[in-house]
Amino acid sequence: MSINRRAFLKAIGAIGSTSLIGRHSKAIAQEHFPGYPDRFGVLHDIPLCTGCRKCEWACKDQNKLPNKPIETYDDKSVFEKKRRTDAESYTVVNRYPNPKDKEKPIYVKFQCNHCDEPACASACLVKALKKTPEGAVTYNKDVCIGCRYCMTACPFYVPAYEYHNALTPEVRKCTLCYERITKEGEIPACVKICPTQALTFGKRSELIKVAREKIRSKPGEYIDHIYGKHEVGGTCWLYISGVPFEQLGFPTDVGTKPYPELTKGFLTMVPAGVVILPALLGGFYMFTKHREQMTKDEATTSEKKETQP
Amino acid sequence: MLKIIRTFTILLSLSFLAVVVLGEIRERKEPAHELFQDATCSDCHICFTPSKKDPCLRSCPRLSKKVIAHSPEEGPEVVILNQLEDLFEPVIFAHKLHAQMTQMGEGCAVCHHYAPAGHIPPCRECHGGPLNPVDLRQPGLKGAYHRQCLNCHREWSHSTACAVCHAKKTPGELAIRQVDTTDIVGIYHPHIAVPDKRVYQVNYKKGPVVTFHHKDHVELFDLRCVDCHREQSCSRCHEIGEKPERAAKTPEEHHKPCISCHTMKTCSICHTQSETEGFTHARTGWPLNRFHQELKCRSCHLMGRKITKLDRDCIACHSSWNTETFNHSVTGLALDEIHQGMDCIDCHLDRRFDQKPSCANCHDDGRVYPKSSPGTFTEEKW
């Protein structure tokens, strides 16, 4: 044998790692998902929102969540602190000061953004969360095991958990009124009730055009940014605003890469670690074992030869 | 030769076809076109050949605001919005009242962002159903209404409560009740209390005090609010919260409402050392009598003209007065029968009605008024 053990191991290691890295980068290039072409979305024209909170009422009404009479939603005191979505409210409207006009505060509706490549769905071990071709990220309570990885994975901290429900807790979040839009051909309840039509439901591709046109035609009223077009790889809810989004509580450090992509590199290494590495090491072990056996055998035969001159 | 004739015939038939087709297109005008007879094609359409399938409409004529000034009285008094009746009773919208309020702002254009000469299209003509599923760019009727109303209403009331405009339907009761409009017809903007005067301390050494007699300007000089208060927002007054801080005005902005009538040549008209009294007509050398006192300046100093010295002759204004028509007893002196038939200038020499009448024209016995009177005094002399 002209090659020694160390050189052999080096070579194997180099081949193995290059092949793994190669596979990993290639995998991203190939599996990048541009999103379902006909997915729906909602455009939230933030300057048009008057903070009437009728969407909150309609959402609870639609999803059979504990609700109060619609008149009670006129109460503005709830805006004193920032609210978040929870198991009993899939959407909330928050108030932010308007740097341009003190008298007209800015209201922002917040709910699940229905990412094109949802982090929650990719984190889900049992595929209880699923991105549908219509755009909605839906939840199947029958398979959910309650691990709540989706809640940690979500870049917007949207999914909520029914902590008070000891026996059949569910993960709760906006459904984009999936049943309504697919079976009844309706539009989401929040969009339908919005009195100023600050919410527009339609094909996401169309909405981007609408948003672009609004921004172009009223440059003083809107900043040149459609939030959700690229954020976290694109979301079905799109937002246009008159002030920078970081002033309205939007996370602007989420990047434009889909969240699943961030973990994909690591996760493709896992099978390698679990399957290939033991096999390789096993192989080495067998190989060395075999060699040891061979030398042993050789030694015994030569000994025999020496003893039998 | 034959070739030329053939090409010519083809061209001729093609142009004929084109004329027919274009004529057909013109014939097939949408009913909406009748509403916009003064508009050019490019006011609404972007492309050259709009079709029913692709009308290539402009997203929003709001951007190319085309508005002709109309007076509030031209519009309807009240508009009943019942197209979207669902949860609520029809909205009774006091159109005229709102139109009058806009006179302090941008006028009709505050709401009617497309208002060409002639017919002003109401909201529902462009903004069809409650939602507009075809053209996502244009709000439906529901959105159009609410955006218009709430944009101002929430500015001053900070409320988005439905009940401000909507009366909730009583369940079980049949829809579309006859709406009684009599109680709101003719409601104008409620009377605004006019401040008596404002005294400003200003940074002008030669005249640090400016007394603005606000009431005089309204009641005596007959100025309308809008003559000075322009481009105001409702929230200037209708503000239930903390009053918004107003931006400091430049000297030009301070003088702007005044100089439309007062010239800037003499500062001392407004800028004085101390507070001034309001205007009295006696200052001009002609104290007004009890009848004239009740008049507004513009009753004599005609509207739209600069206020100048007027002829003191009664018939300069009271052109119809003569011996027959003038009832002398209103002056406090009822003439006796003899004097009633006489001409005015027989006693009032040179038509100087503000001076003592003379008896010398007829009586040469040296009698003087009022010692000898040509009738009976009905009350104290004015």
Rounded Cα distance between A32 and A27, Å, is: 8
Cβ–Cβ contact A71 with B under 8 A: yes
Q: Which of B140, B160, B244 sits opposite A103 (nearest CB)?
A: B244
Q: How far is A74 from chain B (nearest CA, A)?
A: 6
Considering only the beta carbons, identify the residue of B63, B159, B244 that sits closest to A217: B63
Residues of B in contact with A196 (CB under 8 A): 139, 143, 146-147, 150
More confident of the two residues B161 and B212? B212
Of B60, B155, B159, the CB nearest to A103: B155
Residue B136 has pLDDT above 60, yes or no: yes
The predicted structure's pLDDT at residue B164:
77
pLDDT of amino acid B80: 72
Separation of alpha carbons A184 and A178, rounded Å:
10
Tell how strand A92-96 and strand A106-110 pair up. antiparallel
Partners of A74 on chain B (C-beta within 8 Å) are 159-162
pLDDT band at residue B184 under the 50/70/90 scheme: very low
For domain A40-119+149-257, give the fold.
Alpha-Beta Plaits (3.30.70)
Q: What domain count does chain B have?
A: 4
pLDDT at B181 over 60: no
Put simply, the answer to whether A197 touches B137 (Cβ < 8 Å) is no
B146/chain A closest Cα distance in angstroms: 5
Residues of chain A neighbouring B161 (CB-CB closer than 8 A): 71, 74
* A104 close contact with B: CB closer than 8 A: yes
Instruction: Please give, rounded to a whole number of angstroms, the shortest distance from the CA of B217 to a CA of chain A.
Output: 32
Q: For residues B4-41, b (16+ Cβ closer than 10 Å) or e, as one string?
A: eeeeeeeeeeeeeeeeeeeeeeeeeeeeeeebbeebee
Do A56 and A89 contact (CB within 8 A), yes or no?
Answer: yes
The reply to whether residue B136 touches residue A207, judged by beta carbons under 8 angstroms, is yes
Please answer yes or no on whether B136 and A200 come within 8 Å at the CB atom: yes
Is A191 in a helix, a strand, or coil? helix
Interface contact flag, A195 B60, Cβ < 8 Å: no
Asked if the bond preceding A155 is cis, omega within 30° of 0, the reply is: no
The per-residue pLDDT for A24 is 46
- The minimal CB distance from A210 to the residues B133, B136, B150 is found for B136
User: Would residue B298 count as lying in a domain?
Assistant: no
Identify from A50, A72, A218 which residue to disrupt to test chain B contact, counting B C-beta atoms within 10 A and taking the largest count: A50
- Phi and psi angles of residue B35, each rounded to the nearest 5 degrees, phi first: -75, -25
A residues 46-65 lying closer than 8 A (beta carbon) to B: 48, 50-52
Provide the chain B residues 76-105 that lie in CB contact (below 8 A) with chain A.
none
Among chain A residues, the shortest Cα distance to B148 is held by A196
CA distances from A233 to A5, A52, A94, A139, A236 (A): 47, 31, 25, 21, 10
Contact B136 A192 (CB under 8 A): no
The pLDDT value given to residue B83:
63
Domains of chain A by residue range: 5-31+262-307, 40-119+149-257
| Intervals of chain A under pLDDT 70 | 1-32, 305-309
Checking if the pLDDT of B28 tops 70, the result is no
- For β-strands B79-81 and B209-212, DSSP reports them as unpaired
Residues in chain A with CB shorter than 8 Å from the CB of B143 are 194-197
- Is the CB of residue B160 less than 8 Å away from at least one CB of chain A? yes
Question: Is B297 inside any structural domain?
Answer: no
Measured between beta carbons, the chain B residues lying within 8 angstroms of A197 are 131, 139-140, 142-143, 146-147
Q: Report pLDDT for A20.
A: 47
In a domain, B130, yes or no: yes
The verdict on residue B238 lying in a domain is yes
pLDDT digits (tens, 9 = 90+) for B231-284: 666 667 776 667 667 777 888 888 888 887 787 778 888 899 988 888 888 888
Measured between alpha carbons, how far is A62 from B20 in angstroms, rounded to an integer? 55
User: Do B147 and A187 make contact, defined as CB atoms within 8 angstroms?
Assistant: no
**What are the tens digits of pLDDT across the range B311-369?**
877 878 888 888 788 888 888 888 888 888 888 888 888 877 777 888 888 888 888 88
- Residue A307's pLDDT is 65
Nearest chain A Cα distance for residue B244, angstroms: 7
Residue B117 has pLDDT above 80, yes or no: no
Among the partner-chain residues B133, B140, B160, the one whose CB lies closest to the CB of A50 is: B160
Q: Does B154 touch chain A (CB under 8 A)?
A: yes
Residue B174 has pLDDT above 50, yes or no: no
Q: For residue B88, what is the DSSP state?
A: B
pLDDT band at B36 (very low <50, low <70, confident <90, very high): low
A100 shares contact with chain B (CB less than 8 Å): no
Residue numbers of the domain that contains B208:
198-242+250-279
**Position B177 in a domain:** no
B161 to A74: CB separation less than 8 angstroms, yes or no:
yes
The single-letter DSSP state of residue B159 is: -
Highest mean pLDDT among B43-57, B164-178, B204-218, B362-376: B204-218
Please give the full DSSP string across A205-220, using - where no structure is assigned: HHHHHHHHHHHHH-TT
How many other CB atoms are there within 10 angstroms of residue A280's CB atom?
Answer: 14
Residue B263 lies in a domain: yes
Q: Which of B59, B136, B150 sits opposite A196 (nearest CB)?
A: B150
Q: Which residues contact A131 (CB under 8 A, 6 or more apart)?
A: A36, A114, A115, A116, A117, A118, A121, A137
Tens of pLDDT, residue by residue over A126-166, are: 999 999 999 999 999 999 999 999 999 999 999 999 999 88
Task: Show residues of chain A in contact with B142, CB under 8 Å.
Answer: 195, 197
Q: Which of B166, B78, B184, B66 is nearest to B119 (CA)?
A: B66
Q: What is the pLDDT of residue B30?
A: 57
Query: pLDDT band at residue B54, thresholds of 50, 70 and 90?
Result: confident
The verdict on B146 touching A (C-beta cutoff 8 Å) is yes
**DSSP-assigned letters across all residues of A110-123:** E----BSS-HHHHH
Highest mean pLDDT among B22-26, B36-40, B301-305: B301-305
Identify the burial level of A229 via C-beta atoms within 10 angstroms of its C-beta, where 0-12 means exposed, 13-18 middle and 19 or more buried.
middle
pLDDT value of residue A13: 55
pLDDT of residue A29: 41
Residue B67 C-alpha, separation from nearest chain A C-alpha, in angstroms: 19
pLDDT given at position B298: 74
The residue in chain B having the minimum alpha-carbon distance to the alpha carbon of residue A49 is B147
CATH number for B267: 3.90.10
Q: Give the position of tokens 């050789």.
A: A298
Which residue of B lies nearest to A215 if distances are taken between CA atoms?
Answer: B137
Residue given tokens 């699943």 in the structure block: A260
On whether residue B169 sits in a domain, the answer given is no
Q: Which chain A residues touch B133 with a CB distance below 8 Å?
A: 202
From CA B334, how far away is CA A73, in angstroms rounded? 75
Residue numbers in A near B158 (CB within 8 A) = 76
